[in-house]
Amino acid sequence: MNTRIKISKENKEEMRNRIMNYFSEERDEDLGDLASELLLDFFIEELGPYIYNQGIEDAYVYIKDKVDDLFALQIIKR
């Protein structure tokens, strides 16, 4: 199983721009293309798995609740 998080070139560019804008607006720092890409790569590699796993857990709970709802619809015949 490939565990590497894949992001399209367009989405990665948008994320880099958001990082640069954040540093500019919130920290009054200019962040260049390379620095923003390295920071994004760090976030993806180090934080991405935690975020991904939380999404999996949330989906599991949601689906489990829906399956439980299905079982509640059973008609008991004796």
* Residue 21: closest CA among 39, 5, 7, 8: 39
Q: Is 24 within 8 Å of 31 (Cβ atoms)?
A: yes
Tell me what pLDDT residue 74 has: 79
What are the DSSP calls for 28-42, one per residue?
-----HHHHHHHHHH
- C-alpha 26/C-alpha 68 separation (Å) is 45
- pLDDT tens digits for 49-64? 999 999 999 999 999 9
2-19: pLDDT as tens digits: 667 889 999 999 999 999
Tell me how far the alpha carbon of residue 60 is from its chain's centroid: 16
| pTM score above 0.85 | no
17-49: pLDDT as tens digits: 999 999 999 999 999 999 999 999 999 999 999
pLDDT at res. 78:
58
